[in-house]
Amino acid sequence: MRVLLVEDDTSLSSFVEKGLREAGHQVEVTDNGKHALTLCMAESYDVAIVDRMLPRLDGLSLVKALRAAQVGTPILFLTALGGVDDRVQGLEAGGDDYLTKPFAFSELLARVTALSRRAVLKTTEASPQISYGDVILNLFEHSATRQGQSLDLQPKEFRILELFLRHPGRVITRTMLLEHVWDIHFDPQTSVVETHISRLRNKLEKPFGDTLIQTVRGVGYKLEQKGEAK
């Protein structure tokens, strides 16, 4: 999981960063809201942890600006402002969760994980069909086609492709794949993800002579037709 931590208390940010990294997550840290806004507009994060009292741009204004710009990164407010009105303000500004200081790191980690999972699994239920380019997935029939040709996918391969199709252009980390496809909430240090990605590529790409699943080195994968990257 890729996490943005926005906190101007250096001792606290170091503590949280260390804990998140030990849990296997990638963490980027900034100490002011203005820089955080720039980062979120340019980069993709699975979760942002935001203090409310920040220099240059306060946490509430930061989140409002992100939501106004249609940035949907799940946001957890982590702040000393713990009154009912404070929590309501944070959620109404566009925050997804609110945790007050002092806090137990285990609770912070659980909330961050839940936010990331909720965002990945969020679906549009109006249609049984999702697509990207010439790839079509029918969720009711549990079938997949490309250029009208049927793809013979195993259940895990189908779930991986579904995850990519729901988030085209977004980086899907190894941790997210483990949680969504295998329901594993830790890294078992095996090549199971890589093996299934390779099998999916053989069926999705090889017969059509192109590449759809791009490897983002050191981070994960994303579904993106070559030439579409901005």
- Give, for 42, the enclosing helix (H) or strand (E): helix 33-42
Which amino acid, residue 172? I
Assign 70 a pLDDT band (cuts: 50, 70, 90): confident
| CATH for 2-121, options being 3.40.50.720, 3.20.20.10, 3.30.1330.10, 3.40.50.2300 | 3.40.50.2300
Domain boundaries, the chain: 2-121, 129-223
Nearest-angstrom CA–CA distance, 130 and 164: 10
| Fold classified for 129-223 | Arc Repressor Mutant, subunit A (1.10.10)
Assign 3-class secondary structure to 173-186. EHHHHHHHHCCCCC
Which residues, including other chains, have CB under 8 Å from residue 113's CB and lie 6 or more apart? 1, 179, 185
- pLDDT given for residue 125 in this prediction: 46
Beta strands in 31-74 (DSSP E): 47-50
Percentage of the chain exceeding pLDDT 90: 67
Assign 218 a pLDDT band (cuts: 50, 70, 90): confident
The angle subtended at Cα 222 by Cα 182 and Cα 2, nearest 5°, is 70
Helices 155-166 and 192-204, axial angle in degrees (round to 10): 80
As a whole number of Å, the CA-based R_g of the chain is 19
Q: Is the pLDDT of residue 172 over 70?
A: yes
Model confidence over 124-162: pLDDT tens digits?
Answer: 444 678 899 999 999 888 899 999 999 999 999 999 999
Structural contact between residues 40 and 13, judged by C-beta atoms closer than 8 angstroms: no
3-state SS, residue 80? coil
Structural contact between residues 52 and 60, judged by C-beta atoms closer than 8 angstroms: yes
Q: Is the pLDDT of residue 217 over 50?
A: yes
